[in-house]
Every structure is written in C-alpha cells, then in structure tokens.
Structure 1
Amino acid sequence: MSENKMRILVISDSHGRNDDVAGVIEQVGPIDMLIHCGDVERGDDYIRSLVDCPVHMVSGNNDYNLDLPAQDIFNIGDYKVLVVHGHTFYVYRGVERLKQYALQNNIDIVMFGHTHKPYIEIDEDVTILNPGSVSYPRQPDHMPTFLIMEIDDEGEAHYGHGYYKSKFTELKI
C-alpha cells in the first residue's frame, strides 16, 4: 500500500442517531479518516470512539450544545479541504456561495451537509461534495447515504456514494 493511499468516510446529518453512524462505519470497513459534515446533535465523543483514525467534525444548525467548529480546513494528501455544514452558505439555493468561498481561499474540495441529499460536482477548480444523510435522507429514493473518498497511489482523489443498509432500510425494501 502506498503512503499516499487513503480511504475516507464522509457522513452528515445523523441527528443523534449514532446507531446509524456505527452501522455505516461497520459496513464500510477500515478507514483512514472520518469526516462528519454536521448536525451530529449528540454523541460526538462516542462517534470519535468508534474509529481509530483522525476525525473531523463540524457543527450544524442543530448542534446547539456541542463544542464543534463551524468549519474545518485541513489537507488530505495534496488537497486543501473545507468542511462546513452548509446552512450559512444557503446551500438549499445552490452551491455557488460555497464555490466562490472555495475559490477565494484556494480550497480544492468542499464537503457539506444540511440538504440531506447526496451531491458530487467536480470541475477543474473545485470539487463540491455532500454525502447525503445517514439517518434522514431527502432525495427521491429516501435511501440513507454516505460518501467514500479514496486517494489512489498517485495521490488522485476519487469519490462515490454508498447506501447505508440499516435494519430500517432492509425493512423498507
């Protein structure tokens, strides 16, 4: 395995349903980093205890009593990453404000939540990602989603959404 190779789990909008967070972590297997894009609501220390890797977690519009930052900027390999919940960027109206902020701050990848809908937009200047919600999805199929980001041997990033197969989901099918 190359030094550059990484597997990152990105989740959002668990809204206190930490059994869903634990289930997704179990489903995806080994990861090198966990990112939560906000609306944790409770159990941030518990979520950190579920993994043996770096955890980046930001506050969402429902995270009143958690001591989490509103945004987090850090590097994953050669990529400068911004994690926000998205509500302060009015993401329900689109991602233009996020994109503009990223371009002004030399951000390569923006990860956000809040809409509860999976989203990937890749262009030459910035990549915008939303994992959807592991607990309360709002896209047409209403399947709980997460995002996996992988850094390959050459340091290139790849992204894909996965469906969380919870007991609740299995009952719905």
Structure 2
Amino acid sequence: MGETEQEQIKVLIVSDSHGRNDNLRKAVANMRGTHCRMLHAGDFQCSPQEIYDLAGVPVDMVRGNCDSSLSGVPLSRIVEIGGYRILLTHGHQYAGIDSIGNMSEMARANDVQIVVCGHTHIPHMEKRGDVWVVNPGSISQPRQPGHQPSYLVMNIEHGTVDFVPVYLT
C-alpha cells in the first residue's frame, strides 16, 4: 500500500444532494478539520464549482442521471486514495436485477477494490468477494425507512478501510 498506509485518511462520501445543499453543508461542518477529501456520487444539480467551494477540500465527482447538462463531468472515474482504487459512479447505468453484482464485476475488471455509487437514495454497504460496494444514500432526499438524510465516512488507516454511516436529524 505504500507510505500512505501509515496515515489516517478520512473521506466524506455523499450522493444525491439535488441542489439542496443545506445538509451537505452540515456534513462538511461535521467533518471540518478531519477529512482530506470528498467523493460525490452524482445528482448534485448545481454547478461543480459550488460543490468545490462548499467542500473546502479536494472533491472528486461524477455526473448522475439528473446532471445531464453537465457534460464536462464524467459518468464514472477511478480515483486512488490511501492505496485503494475506487470506482466512483452514480450507478444508474448499472441498474438492473443485480446492479451491485454488475458494479463489482466492473470493479474487478479494472483492479478496483471499492465502488462508490448513489442513485437509489438508500444507504448500503456490501462486500462482494474482495470488492466493497457502498452507497451513502441521499444527503437531501432519503428513501430508506425513517427517511433520514445520510452520508458515509470512509476511514483508511494502516492499510485497512472501513465505512461509517452517518444520519442527520
């Protein structure tokens, strides 16, 4: 994993803010001073610059199905953080009977260990073989029981990764 495995890295993972950035601001404030990066899995429905300014840290983002006018933002991308290769995608293009299986197969084909997706507005974390597929849910329009806006915190320390779901009230 290299020299970064000795560092503690915290990454804020969000999706589906849909231009309603109040909860996104809360998530950033909760992480202030502790995270080094943000991943946004699409459907932000505002200018990318607004997300960059709000985050205050480097941001990797992809376009969701509601971001069709933002052609300069890719549908998916692979980023490397703390020795892990991460496929960042909104996920709508993998929808189907086994969308998690489809994404994990795409990850394996690209030597990726983590898939970060959105689209469903429902938080989910699952390990398929050696690939994590995680969805932070929606920071603004949750669909899971209880309908609490949610995001994930990814922690990488000493070469291991874990994901902590956070629910806003």
TM over 0.5: yes
- Name which of 60, 63, 66 aligns with 1:62: 66
- Name which of 140, 146, 152 aligns with 1:135: 140
Partner of 2:25: 22
- Name which of 85, 95, 104 aligns with 1:99: 104
Q: Which runs of 5+ in 2 are unaligned?
A: none
Shift of the alpha carbon at 1:3? 5.2
1:43 paired with 2:61, answer no
SS in 2 for 1:95: helix
Deviations 1:64-106 (A, max 9, x none): 2222111110111111100000000006753111011111111
Shift of the alpha carbon at 1:123? 4.3
* Structure 1: distance between partners of 2:150 and 2:97: 18
The TM-score normalised by the length of structure 2 is: 0.90
Identity between Structure 1 and Structure 2 (%): 36
Shift of the alpha carbon at 1:118? 0.3
- Name which of 118, 124, 132 aligns with 1:113: 118
| Change in CA separation of 1:145 and 1:78 when aligned onto 2, cut-off 3 Å | same
Aligned length, in residue pairs: 163
Shift of the alpha carbon at 1:24? 1.5
* Structure 2: distance between partners of 1:76 and 1:95: 22
133-142 or 16-25, which deviates more = 16-25
1:147 paired with 2:156, answer no
Structure 2: which amino acid aligns with 1:100? E
- Name which of 84, 91, 99 aligns with 1:86: 91
Q: Which runs of 5+ in 1 are unaligned?
A: 166-173
62-71 or 80-89, which deviates more = 62-71
- Name which of 10, 13, 28 aligns with 1:10: 13
